[in-house]
Amino acid sequence: MARQYTLQRAPSAAGIHIDYAAELNEQQLAAVTASPGPLLVIAGAGSGKTRTLTYRVAYLLENGVDPRNILLLTFTNKAARQMLDRVANLLPVDASGLWGGTFHSIGNRMLRRHGSVLGYSSAFTILDREDQKDLIETVVAGAGINPKEIRFPKGDVLADIFSFTVNTERTIEELLAEKFPYFLPLIEQIKDVHVRYERKKKATNSMDFDDLLEKTLRMLKEHEEVADFYRRKFQFILVDEYQDTNKIQADFIDTLAAEHRNVMVVGDDAQSIYSWRGANFKNILAFPERYPDAQVFKIELNYRSVPEILSVANAAIAPNVEQFKKELSATRETKEVKPAVVALNDGSEQAQFIAQRILDLRDEGIELDEIAILYRAHYHAVELQLELSRRGIPYQITSGVRFFEQAHIKDVAAFIRFVANPRDEVAFKRMIKLLPGIGNKSADNLWRLFESSLDPVAGGVDPGGEGVSQLREASAGAAGVTAPGYNFGERLRPMQVGARSKKSWQQLADTLDEIAPGGVPNPPSEMITSVVEAIYDDYAKANFANYELRREDLNQLAAFARQFKDVDEFLSQLALISNVDAEAAPNKTADTESVNLSSVHQAKGLEYHTVFVIWLTDGMFPSTRSLETREAIEEERRLFYVAVTRARDELYLTYPHMRLNAGYGDMFQRPSRFLKEIPAQLLEDWQISRR
Catalytic residues: 49-50, 240-241, 271, 646
- Name the 3-class secondary structure at 606: coil
Contact 87, 58 (CB under 8 A): yes
Taking the C-alpha atoms of residue 158 and residue 187, their distance in angstroms, rounded to an integer, is 11
At 281, phi and psi to the nearest 5? -60, -30
Taking the C-alpha atoms of residue 370 and residue 246, their distance in angstroms, rounded to an integer, is 33
Continuous segment of H or E residues that includes residue 461: none
Task: Give 425's contacts (C-beta < 8 A, 6+ positions apart).
Answer: 447, 451
At 55, phi and psi to the nearest 5? -70, -30
Contact 73, 242 (CB under 8 A): no
Nearest CA-CA partner of 373 in 553, 656, 608, 619? 608
* Torsion sign across C-alpha atoms 296, 301, 307, 310: negative
Taking the C-alpha atoms of residue 226 and residue 215, their distance in angstroms, rounded to an integer, is 13
Taking the C-alpha atoms of residue 474 and residue 308, their distance in angstroms, rounded to an integer, is 64
Across 540-552, b (16+ Cβ under 10 Å) vs e yields: bbbbbbbbeebbb
What radius of gyration do the chain's Cα atoms show?
29
* Termini Cα distance of the chain: 91
At 3, phi and psi to the nearest 5? -90, 135
Checking DSSP bridges between strand 658-659 and strand 667-668, what pairing results, if any?
Answer: antiparallel
Contact 657, 346 (CB under 8 A): yes
Nearest CA-CA partner of 101 in 71, 67, 77? 77
Taking the C-alpha atoms of residue 446 and residue 429, their distance in angstroms, rounded to an integer, is 9
Contact 513, 487 (CB under 8 A): yes
- Name the 3-class secondary structure at 686: strand
The per-residue DSSP string of 573-592 comes to: HHHHHHHHHHHH-SS--TT-
Residue 508: HSE in the Cβ half-sphere, 13 Å Cα cutoff: 28
Taking the C-alpha atoms of residue 220 and residue 268, their distance in angstroms, rounded to an integer, is 29
User: What residues form DSSP beta bridges with 329?
Assistant: 301
